[in-house]
Each structure stands twice: as structure tokens, then as C-alpha cells.
Amino acid sequence: GAGVSQSPSNKVTEKGKDVELRCDPISGHTALYWYRQRLGQGLEFLIYFQGNSAPDKSGLPSDRFSAERTGESVSTLTIQRTQQEDSAVYLCASSLRLTENIQYFGAGTRLSVL
């Protein structure tokens, strides 16, 4: 596609439910990143993938958060047993390769946990 695509654009869920967020990177981009942006704050790194290498999960805030990516395509971020503090905009970015540091961002998924 022309850009990074994320779905859904908005998600409202109840505390304790699981949610799954999707990211379609730019075609041909081998690196994919997930960030979280809480209200009024900057972006926090969560996880990144590069090709078939083991992902860097160092930014995941708890074991309720996980992400998968199949090859160099779609990625899903899963949050289990959501909490109110998980409310944020979840942003996905991709870059042409790991050494190409220009990251292109999607529009994000706004998650609201009631």
C-alpha cells in the first residue's frame, strides 16, 4: 500500500477484555515497530520486528502485551485483560530495513478501556 495502515482506527473495550490491533506496513519494508502514545505524552517504544529475526520486546510494559508478525507482512498487537491504563493511541511504523532509520507511521489505533 501507499502507507502504513492500521485497524481499527478506534476501539472501545471493557476492562478485562482482550483486544487485537493490526498493522499493515509499507510493502517491502522489512522493519516494523509498535509505539504507544498516552494522552499528552510522547511515544513509548513497545516492540520491533526485523525480517525473521527474534523481535526486540524490551519495551513491552507487561506480559499482557504481545505481538506477532508473519514474515515481512502484517503484525498484530494483542493486549490481554485490558486495564484502564492501557488507554492510549497505539502507533505502528515501518522502515525499509533496520539500518534505514526513517520510520513511517500509521494513523494509529485509539484504544479506550472503560
CA–CA distance, 57 with 55 (Å, rounded to integer): 6
Instruction: Determine if 109 is a binding residue for other proteins (CB under 8 A).
Output: no
Please give the backbone phi and psi of residue 84, each rounded to the nearest 5 degrees, phi first.
-60, -35
Q: Taking CB under 8 A as the rule, does residue 20 contact other proteins? A: no
Compute how many residues bind other proteins; rule: CB under 8 A.
Answer: 27
What is the smallest separation between the CB atom of 95 and other proteins, expressed in angstroms? 8
Residue selected from 19, 23, 31, 111 as contacting other proteins according to rule CB under 8 A: 31
Q: Cell for 15?
A: 476492562
Write the CA distances from 12 to 1, 60, 88, 113, integer angstroms: 27, 21, 11, 6
- Which residues here bind other proteins, judged by CB under 8 A? 3-4, 31, 33, 35, 40-45, 48, 50, 56, 58-59, 91, 93, 98, 101-108
